[in-house]
């Protein structure tokens, strides 16, 4: 009885030693793989209860999502590979395994323990290879997830640098503004040849040229706002060119006309009234300034916005 107990004790002890021999290296490999992939982090908050974890829909999404299916496939491949290696190893040790039933318990146990390190070593090698492959795969997947799509790159560029379309439009407007400013500055030399200058009285100024008896409509020799308008008025005064104050007409001519071009057809009547008045004044007649009627569609604010209603009537008398 004592001998049987001693053999049983030795068998249990051998099993414990074998378990430690198998378990400790596997634990080390698992921990080492985790540290290599993402570091060893301890998060106590993960133990907190969260109701959404009990949601079956969320669980199905994780299980049958792309990432879940990928992880399931990897797990199946790992198990199949381990079973295959174990089967091949056991097949190689099959002759010695078949001899075990003919031996006594102690001898059979010792023989099994002698064969066990070989099987364990093969499994550990395969686990290490799988861990390395999984590490590089996880790293590749993580890097890919950090990369932005082409659309995301475009969106970020728009947020940081501005939309290319908007920037192109701004550049085009800047170029047009610069070109207009250049033409307005160059046209100042033609102001002394003008028949009259229509002003706002200081914000806008448009120099018009009209030959009496000509079949052509009045032309715009020069026009501008702000500093350019001030220079046009100064040059007109220096050349004895009559300056006529009509805010609505000045803005209408400015926003509908171009330097060197004839005035808009809708403004023929208004300009004709002004030129007729100035012609008679130049002949020495004393007349009250005429009321100049501007078509409602050509009434603008100083910023070029349409002006309607009572504001349009009042604007013609404001500076």
Domains and CATH numbers, the chain: 2-37+54-147 (no CATH), 188-315 (3.40.1690.10)
pLDDT at 92: 73
pLDDT at 113: 62
**23-81: per-residue pLDDT in tens?**
666 676 667 666 665 555 656 665 666 655 566 666 656 556 666 777 777 778 877 87
Q: Which of 182, 184, 269 is nearest to 229 (CA)?
A: 184
**167-185: per-residue pLDDT in tens?**
667 677 777 766 666 677 7
Backbone angles phi, psi at 223, to 5 degrees: -160, 160
Q: Are the beta carbons of 19 and 113 closer than 8 angstroms?
A: no
28's tokens: 């080390």
pLDDT at 317: 47
Q: Are the beta carbons of 206 and 197 closer than 8 angstroms?
A: yes
**What pLDDT tens digit does each residue of the chain (319 aa) get?**
566 566 666 656 666 655 555 566 667 666 766 666 555 565 666 566 665 556 666 665 655 666 677 777 777 887 787 778 777 776 776 666 556 556 666 666 666 666 666 767 777 777 778 778 877 887 887 787 777 666 666 666 666 555 666 666 767 777 776 666 667 777 788 899 999 999 987 789 999 999 888 888 999 999 988 888 999 999 999 999 999 999 999 999 999 999 889 999 999 999 999 999 999 988 888 888 888 999 998 999 888 888 876 455 555 544 4
pLDDT at 187: 79
Q: Which residue has the tokens 């879940």?
A: 68
pLDDT at 171: 74
Q: Is the peptide bond before 201 cis (omega within 30 degrees of 0)?
A: yes
Q: Is the dihedral of CA 148, 152, 153, 156 positive or negative?
A: negative
- 260 Rama sector, left if φ>0, alpha if ψ -120 to 50, beta otherwise: left
Report the alpha-carbon distance of residue 190 to residue 274 in Å, rounded: 20
pLDDT at 212: 82
Buried b / exposed e over 140-164, threshold 16 CB at 10 Å, is eeeeeeeeeeeeeeeeeeeeeeeee
DSSP of 106-140: HHHHHHHHHHHHHHHHHHHHHHHHHHHHHHHHHHH
pLDDT at 195: 92
């Amino acid at each position: 009885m004592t001998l049987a107990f001693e053999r049983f004790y030795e068998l249990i002890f051998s099993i414990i030693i074998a378990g430690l021999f198998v378990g400790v290296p596997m634990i080390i490999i698992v921990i080492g793989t985790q540290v290599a992939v993402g570091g060893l982090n301890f998060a106590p908050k993960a133990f907190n209860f969260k109701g959404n974890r009990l949601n079956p829909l969320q669980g199905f999404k994780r299980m049958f999502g792309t990432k879940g299916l990928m992880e399931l496939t990897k797990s199946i491949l790992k198990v199949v590979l381990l079973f295959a290696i174990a089967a091949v190893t056991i097949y190689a040790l099959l002759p010695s395994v078949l001899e075990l039933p003919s031996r006594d318990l102690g001898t059979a146990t010792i023989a099994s323990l002698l064969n066990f390190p070989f099987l364990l070593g093969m499994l550990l090698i395969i686990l290490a290879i799988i861990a390395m492959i999984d590490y590089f795969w996880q790293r590749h997947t993580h890097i890919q997830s950090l990369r932005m799509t082409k659309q995301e790159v475009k969106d970020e560029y728009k947020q940081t640098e501005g939309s290319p379309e908007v920037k192109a439009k701004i550049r085009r407007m800047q170029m047009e503004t610069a070109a207009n400013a250049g033409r307005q500055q160059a046209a100042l030399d033609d102001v002394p040849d003008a028949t009259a200058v229509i002003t706002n009285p200081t914000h806008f100024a448009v120099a018009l040229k009209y030959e009496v008896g000509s079949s052509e409509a009045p032309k715009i020799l020069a026009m501008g706002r702000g500093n350019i308008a001030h220079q046009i008025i100064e040059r007109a005064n220096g050349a004895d060119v009559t300056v006529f104050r009509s805010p609505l007409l000045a803005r209408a001519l400015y926003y509908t006309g171009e330097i060197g071009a004839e005035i808009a057809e809708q403004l023929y009547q208004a300009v004709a009234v002004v030129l007729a008045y100035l012609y008679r004044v130049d002949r020495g007649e004393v007349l009250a300034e005429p009321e100049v009627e501007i078509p409602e569609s050509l009434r603008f604010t100083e910023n070029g916005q349409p002006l309607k209603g009572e504001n349009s009537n009042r604007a013609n008398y404001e500076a």
